[in-house]
Chain A
């Protein structure tokens, strides 16, 4: 099992080794120690590797992940799992702003809290936050699911397209064109699956409220022509 100590090894060696993995490689369990808040740890993975990061990371950890299973045993700085394509990223601590931004697939699990703009412009990623999320989360979210076991900050789901939002706690305010929607059986089923995959064993789907787009904003309305 390759171990990279980032206090003595340049970050580029870690990321190069991750990128050099060929399909079917056997030695696919990486350990990263002493990340000390480093930026861009384990970005651009495109193979089904496992990366255990022992400590807190800075900007853009696991960005563009495509098939990797990255666990951060600490907290993550801004932009964790930005533009994830597939795979799983788990943050044991908190995540800073725009976690999972523009993500197109895969699962991002944040065991602590996420700051502002969580899931901004999400395009298919599933995000489960065990704690709270900050303001402007899921802004312009196009598809995928954002599940929050705690509370959401201001302007949740502003200018939302078709991302589905589920919040167990309170929502400080909904953004423009984001509304509460009835929970249908298929939503409960989806939510049950996401909670299970995210290890959120103490949360029941029935405890959540669903939010989605009122769909009044994202198509052009001739009555608004004067505004342009």
Chain B
């Protein structure tokens, strides 16, 4: 099954509440998938600063003294450790941090990078995952969350959603793709790299590759309708935006709600019932094979 939630805030006064709202939405979706959970939170970027979300199976060892080690390696950085994850904020390039970690802390995995996004995901129930990373306290402009019932690959931290394959890009998926092995081979030839055997990671990498060719999110999602075979409801985040698309058969459920304050997505209406003003919101089921997206920059 899997459960997906997404929230794109139009009303700036709600930003301090984003983590709490999204956490509550995701917890309600727990019975759609108990294997792993994850959340991506986008916050307003500060100029010239990059963020990398790191994950380690042995955070006590891998994150110890990481900040000092980076600085000693001429990479100005601030490291915030949250349980098995750590966020590195740096004015150096992402590639420099990546190279440093590969050389000096090879056990560390990079969950996501960008100016805006932080990604937290682990095996276990949504309630435990959001507690471990104190997601409720996070503010932001938009975010997406996922609770997984595994079908196509193992139940591991890396197999949890969201998948991030490009700067400030991430994807959550309900469904299963049938042409992911073929498409993965094609994308590898185009230079994409993969961490798992998971089908959803292929979808994320596909969108990243298409956007690298100059498409915007909406165009990349439209391409996905032709190039991805299988069942999918995707919710995708970018630095400034949030998109939704369902396959033409549209078996995987989806409900959306929009008010002057937000656009929200849930696998089920239950996920939306605590949002402010939901009683009078415009609530609808997204049409099959139809791309929806909202963008803070284009809206502004």
Give A residues with C-beta under 8 Å from B: 36-38, 56, 58-59, 75, 77-78, 94, 96-97, 115-116, 134-135
Contacts and interface: CB of A to CB of B under 8 A. Distances in A.
B288 A77 contact: no
A37 B288 contact: no
B235 to A, nearest CB: 18
Interface string B263-284: 0000011111100000000011
Contacts of B253: 77-78, 96-97
14 contacts: A37-B269, A37-B270, A38-B270, A58-B270, A59-B268, A75-B283, A78-B253, A94-B284, A94-B285, A97-B250, A97-B251, A115-B250, A116-B250, A134-B250
A77 B250 contact: no
A75 B285 CA distance: 11
A-side interface mostly: loop
Contacts of B269: 37, 56, 58, 75, 77
A58 B253 CA distance: 11
Contact of B285 (A38, A59, A115, A135): A115
Interface residues on B, range: 10 to 19
A116 B271 CA distance: 21
Nearest to B284: A94
Contacts of A36: 270, 273
Interface in B161-215: none
Given A37-B268, A97-B250, 7 more contacts: A37-B270, A58-B269, A59-B268, A77-B253, A96-B255, A116-B250, A134-B250
A94 B248 CA distance: 20
Most-contacted residue by chain B among A38, A94, A116 (CB, 10 A)? A116
Interface string B228-248: 000000000000000000001
Interface of B: 248-251, 253, 255, 268-273, 283-285, 287-288
A134 B289 CA distance: 12
Contact of A116 (B273, B283, B284, B288): B288
Nearest to B287: A134
Contacts of A77: 253, 255, 268-269
Contacts of B273: 36-37
Contacts of A135: 248, 250, 288
A50 B104 CA distance: 69
B282 to A, nearest CB: 11
A94 B251 CA distance: 17
A58 B267 CA distance: 11
Given A37-B270, A38-B270, A96 B285 contact: yes
A25 to B, nearest CB: 31
A78 B1 CA distance: 14
A22 B296 CA distance: 58
A37 to B, nearest CB: 4
Nearest to A38: B270
A94 B283 CA distance: 9
Contacts of A37: 268-273
Contacts of B288: 116, 134-135
A37 B274 CA distance: 11
Contacts of B272: 37
A36 B275 CA distance: 12
Contacts of A134: 250, 287-288
Contacts of B249: 116
B30 to A, nearest CB: 14
A56 B275 CA distance: 14
Most buried by A among B270, B271, B284, B287: B270
Contacts of A97: 250-251, 253, 285
A78 B267 CA distance: 11
Nearest to A135: B288
A96 B284 CA distance: 9
A116 B268 CA distance: 16
